[in-house]
Structure 1
């Protein structure tokens, strides 16, 4: 059974400025999220993750496609859909001039809880998220990690069937980020709430999600369990860094002819290839590069990671995807959020 189902989502926006062209944020995105799981939408900035969440949470309407959350059609019945979802946006929704407890009680009232029930639920969540000692402090005095824990508590106040976490650890220091990971992991342990997590941190998705979908240019290009997706890339990954002035024209040809070396990809000054025995392949790889007039600066051998999965399905390194996010797309997203 699926808590979230989306089919053929298409969304375009008007380009900024005098340019009358439209920017495609989603280009036929399909998504199925099993009930009671932590599901990660992974992709670089501008891939379409936040737009997907805005549609699923009734904050945006697609140009085409359908979407259901907890069995409710979010386009036909947005009011009903809002009663069964919790949303933690990239920006905190807490009132900084109110206390943590006051924020939670207000959130409870907004979802129809009576005062007694709202106070009891607020105290439960403050204890769960280790905020009891700070319950009567103004939120403006909270650290970044404390504020994000409060944001998640606000999203859980009415016991939603589905919780959306949009980039929940962006901007947190490593310690606060690890603490947030622990809190998200606890949500999955109960199995009562389905969590859709969007992130551009591959390690975050790898650690937290039982399933994930890689989003690229408005489409899901790969979906499955993290270990399953990595396991499809059999063998080791051999990564080579070339000099900045290297002649890359013959690199792919030089390596593709080596026995036991496959899936060669040259991306800028980085070369990636796979081999059943990466360590044994290194000498031959280095010799072939030297023979092609392109000596290596460094070489590493590693087990496949989600970066290699992304590379396989998009033809680009994940870092390249981040760097290539169109500025116009980023401006559109900022306008959409602020508007």
Structure 2
């Protein structure tokens, strides 16, 4: 399997190939082997494999399993995009109990370079290479040569931005998913108060994640005085998409509405006149429901700044392996 992206790669020499890239979230680790780049900067990513993180107690075990699967291919460089902040040599992952030292892993695996980046840093960088076929336009607008905002719910809620700088793109990561949730309307306020009693601080990620869908479902039931059996996010989303359960439909509509508010918050914060890109594992799976949801209406509800966000285009990323493409390009930048 290959993944192609047009990126202005600084790599001219061929002796750096092959190298390994990975996208590691709270649930799965997705690995691939970058075998080359053509004159247009298209990366060829092969031997893509997905491992469940529960199968490997440590990051090193997941890396070793993938390298073993390559059956003797010599690898000296690895770029890993992972969930959580990257603040130095010691990595503490978010939503999974993995921690490791970059330098120690380089030494243990005889690597020349182990580059660790935030997963949404890689996704942000990938947006500079996406074609029209790689995205669905969720909202019309005028795309300018200006910063882009990237946001997406999955196991957690990732955020990043991409800034044009002297003919190149500079990705900036952050942990905006952990900023506070701002409820709108009586029922969202009641839901927020319910969640505060249960867990304390209510962040955007508290609602905008797989676990967040489950919290919204049970929280709305509690607010409405209903008794429901606990269900997984996939079950709730499936019932909503099939219109089989009104509470599930309301849950997913609220999720999409809050997503619209959060995406616009990020757009205002970074001045994303270059567009907002939606990633993560949840939205593509409920694409048809999402496109008919309150997302766009909530995105545009920003009072005196509504005129600002109304002209910002929004795209849903549907490309295969966008974070791997971004990781491949980022490692090229650091080689």
Does TM, scored on the shorter chain, surpass 0.5? Answer: no
Q: Structure 1 length as normaliser, TM-score? A: 0.26
Instruction: Give me the TM-score of the superposition, normalised by structure 2.
Output: 0.27
Higher gyration radius (CA):
1
